[in-house]
Amino acid sequence: MQKKISKVKNKNVQMVKAFILDTLAWAYIALVSYKVLYDKIYIENRYPEFAWKQPLYALYFGLAAAALLFFTNFSLGRGSLGLIKLRDDEKATTKPFAFIGYLLIILTFVTGFYVSQVSLKEFFSSQGLEGAKRIFTALFHPNWSIFEQGLFAAIETIYMAFIATAIAIPIAFILGFIAARNLMTGNPVGFFIYTALRTVLNVSRSIEPLVWAIIFSVWVGIGPFSGMLALCLHSIASLTKQYSEQIESVDDGPIEAMTATGAHPVQVVWFGVVPQIVLPYLSYTIYRWDINVRMATVIGLVGGGGIGNLLMQYQGQARWNEVGLLVILIAVIVWTMDWASSVIREALK
Amino acid sequence: MLEIKNLNKVYPNGYHALHNINFSVPQGEFLVVIGLSGSGKSTMLRCINRLHDPSSGEILFNGVDTTKLKGSALRKIRSEIGMIFQHFNLIPRSTVIANVLSGNLSRTGIFKSIFGIYSAEEKERAMKYIDIVGLRGKEKNRADNLSGGQQQRVAIARALMQNPKILLADEPVASLDPATSHSVMQYLKKVNEELGVTVICNLHFLSLVRQYAHRVVALKAGKLIYDGKPLEINEEWFKTIYGEDAVEVTIN
Ligand SMILES: Nc1ncnc2c1ncn2[C@@H]1O[C@H](COP(=O)(O)OP(=O)(O)OP(=O)(O)O)[C@@H](O)[C@H]1O
Ligand SMILES: [Mg+2]
């Protein structure tokens, strides 16, 4: 009896899901067809107006279409959730609802090309090719006279990444324990701290370091310091997450054994948890430094100092020979870091 | 020395794992706990040193009720109760001697232990116990590179380092082969007879039980259904404890 009820309930839930899916699919088809196929391609409106009532109308249309076609073979929702019974000799891929699915995919591709303004005409125009030739010749004839300047900027970038990582490590090390579910969620206070910290970390991690660099460059002024702060913040958030996940996956055995000896909780963590996590920690940390060097280059572009900053300046003046040299320098740094970090991480295994 | 009165354990998910358990263990006894998988053996052992908190009842350890203890008083009692586990639970990536020394953590200061500063007396005792479990010469080896039987002996030495009055063993030989099982059981017997440590041990094999136990208690679905001499477990008792269809497997 109990089972039967839950089965019926389950079927209803599936039907509701299918209907929502149908509505969304039809609304998407309506909206995209209108905005892209009609507005952009047919009447060639370069900057079509956007109004909130458009998606709302699309949703109404979706609801209507879904209601109308829900019990036919055109219902993508019922089809994809397996609620449409097929005979043995029928294949799902040739049923009408499958074609609705194909239509969705094609529409998405068309929209994608239009949104990114893909144009073979521009790609192969004589003027465009001329420009490409100019920049490539310049890039392949780097101006070695700024080598010293570029090198110093590169060193600045590497040190900036190093300090950002180094400052992040001890902070993330401590926060890692506080953000570990298995250590914190035993009592209400712990659970509150855990949830609060997780939220803060997730928010700060979801904001790109590039954006943090812009924020900090307003705060402390343009230069390596703002870049360093941005990287540091991002590293703390990322490392804390990785560290805490590592702590969550440790084997309880040694922890139990240490608790059973009557050890103090600090000792339990030091002897029961830490030996299980040092290697993955080191590996994550080195990888983070590697990432930070690369990010530091990009962050320089928005005023975070170092080689990225220099690159931005020369690019702004269209001095492509100088840009060429910097690109080579960056490539060498990235390769070296990549290689060094993989060698070290391999050795740690 | 250990007296368990009306012990009940209900897990947070509502599962009633132990029902009104009563028994006592005199000083120097080798008590074996048997019962099917899931009958509550591990739960009971873990209630004794409070790795699990009992829901109700009393556990008197040398007259002190351990069920109410907290903080340093609890750690003090735990330090007098050694425990070894089925999966050894040694500290990974550490040497044998470091593992044995970790048994003494409750008496080493926090900072000293974190920086690995142990007194000569502690090291001497650690070496003595490594000797007792027959691992002399292996003290500098990494414990996780040893064989299963050797790792369990390291765990015994670690427990001895606590100077325990009682030793809890949760299926200490369940992941070992028969020959190694006997060797580990021999060491437990030695600890019991020569050092006078009371032992409470969960076991699966009746042949081991008959050979090593002074006394046996059996659990079934969280209830204590047998308390007596190992040789008194006849065919009938066997079927009651393990079910009608059970067949005895021996290990030599
Ligand atoms: N943390 C827990 N939460 C809920 N139930 C648990 C928990 N730990 C154990 N149990 C349940 O309690 C019962 C007794 O488990 P216990 O581990 O004590 O059995 P056992 O006799 O040691 O079995 P085994 O021989 O398999 O080790 C089992 O039914 C188990 O599912
Ligand atoms: Mg068990």
Mean of pLDDT over chain B: 90
Residues A292-326: tens digit of each pLDDT: 888 888 888 777 778 888 888 888 888 888 888 88
Residues B202-238: tens digit of each pLDDT: 998 888 888 899 999 999 989 998 898 888 887 778 8
Cα–Cα distance, A170 to A280 (Å, whole number): 15
Q: CB under 6 Å to ligand 1: residues?
A: B 11, 13, 15, 17, 35, 37-43
How many Cβ contacts (< 8 angstroms) between chains A and B?
79
Cα–Cα distance, A161 to A164 (Å, whole number): 5
SS3 string, chain B, reads CEEEEEEEEECCCCCEEEEEEEEEECCCCEEEEECCCCCCHHHHHHHHCCCCCCCEEEEEECCEEHHHCCHHHHHHHHHCEEEECCCCCCCCCCEHHHHHHHHHCCCCCHHHHHCCCCCHHHHHHHHHHHHHCCCCCCCCCEHHHCCHHHHHHHHHHHHHHCCCCEEEEECCCCCCCHHHHHHHHHHHHHHHHHCCCEEEEECCCHHHHHHHCCEEEEEECCEEEEEECHHHCCHHHHHHHHCCCCCCCCCC
Sign of the C-alpha dihedral computed for residues A25, A26, A32 and A37 taken in this order: positive
- Find out whether A242 and A284 touch, Cβ atoms under 8 Å: yes
| pLDDT tier at A219, thresholds 50, 70, 90 | confident
| More confident: A109 or A85 | A109
Mean pLDDT, rounded, for B114-138 = 91
| pLDDT tier at B19, thresholds 50, 70, 90 | very high
Atom of ligand 1 nearest to the CA of B39: 21
| pLDDT tier at A170, thresholds 50, 70, 90 | very high
At residue B126, does pLDDT exceed 80?
yes
Q: What ipTM was assigned to the predicted interfaces of this complex?
A: 0.91
Ligand 2 center–CA A316 separation, angstroms:
70
Among residues of chain B, what percentage have pLDDT more than 90? 63
Atom of ligand 1 nearest to the CA of B204: 25
Q: Tell if the CB–CB gap between A271 and B113 is shorter than 8 Å.
A: yes
Nearest CA among B30, B49, B66, B67 for reference residue B159: B49
Highest-confidence range of A206-220, A299-313, B120-134, by mean pLDDT? Answer: B120-134
CA B170 to chain centre: 5
| pLDDT tier at A31, thresholds 50, 70, 90 | confident
Residue nearest (by alpha carbon) to ligand 1 atom 1: B11
Nearest CA among B6, B52, B45 for reference residue B203: B45
One-letter amino acid identity for B124? E
Q: Tell if the CB–CB gap between A262 and B113 is shorter than 8 Å.
A: no
Residue nearest (by alpha carbon) to ligand 1 atom 26: B37
At residue A144, does pLDDT exceed 80?
yes
pTM here is: 0.71
At residue B43, does pLDDT exceed 60?
yes
Compute the nearest-CA separation of A4 from chain B (Å): 25
Which chain B positions have a beta carbon within 8 Å of A260's beta carbon?
A: 49, 51, 78, 81-83, 168
Ligand 2 center–CA A314 separation, angstroms:
69
Which string of DSSP letters, residue by residue, matches A134-187? HHHHHHHS--GGGHHHHHHHHHHHHHHHHHHHHHHHHHHHHHHHHT-HHHHTTS
At residue A50, does pLDDT exceed 80?
no
| More confident: A260 or B234 | A260
For position A2, what pLDDT does the model report? Answer: 46
Which of B16, B43, B55 is the pocket-test mutation for ligand 1 (most atoms within 8 Å of CB)? B43
Sign of the C-alpha dihedral computed for residues B151, B152, B158 and B160 taken in this order: negative
Strand partners, B31: B200, B215
| pLDDT tier at A3, thresholds 50, 70, 90 | very low
Question: For residue A259, what is the nearest residue in chain B, using CA coordinates?
Answer: B51
Cα–Cα distance, A212 to A193 (Å, whole number): 25
Residues A105-143: tens digit of each pLDDT: 998 888 888 777 777 777 778 888 888 888 888 888 888
Ligand 2 center–CA B41 separation, angstroms:
6
Question: For residue A186, what is the nearest residue in chain B, using CA coordinates?
Answer: B12
At residue A8, does pLDDT exceed 80?
no
Compute the nearest-CA separation of A40 from chain B (Å): 59
Residue nearest (by alpha carbon) to ligand 1 atom 24: B37
The two three-digit tokens of residue B155, written as one number: 């765990």
Mean of pLDDT over chain A: 85
For position A46, what pLDDT does the model report? Answer: 65
Ligand 1 center–CA B195 separation, angstroms:
31
The two three-digit tokens of residue A148, written as one number: 């010293």
For position A54, what pLDDT does the model report? Answer: 83
Mean pLDDT, rounded, for A244-261 = 91
Mean pLDDT, rounded, for A267-279 = 90
Residues B138-155: tens digit of each pLDDT: 989 999 899 988 999 999
At residue A44, does pLDDT exceed 80?
no
Mean pLDDT, rounded, for A71-86 = 83
At residue B100, does pLDDT exceed 90?
yes
At residue B65, does pLDDT exceed 60?
yes
CATH fold, domain A139-348, is MetI-like fold (1.10.3720)
| pLDDT tier at A1, thresholds 50, 70, 90 | very low
The two three-digit tokens of residue A110, written as one number: 């068309």
| pLDDT tier at B59, thresholds 50, 70, 90 | very high
Cα–Cα distance, B238 to B218 (Å, whole number): 10
Compute the nearest-CA separation of B182 from chain A (Å): 23
Could you tell me which residues come within 8 angstroms of residue B245 by beta carbon, excluding any fewer than 6 positions away? none
CA A138 to chain centre: 33
Closest-approaching ligand to the CA atom of B17: 1
What are the structural domain ranges in chain A? 2-121, 139-348
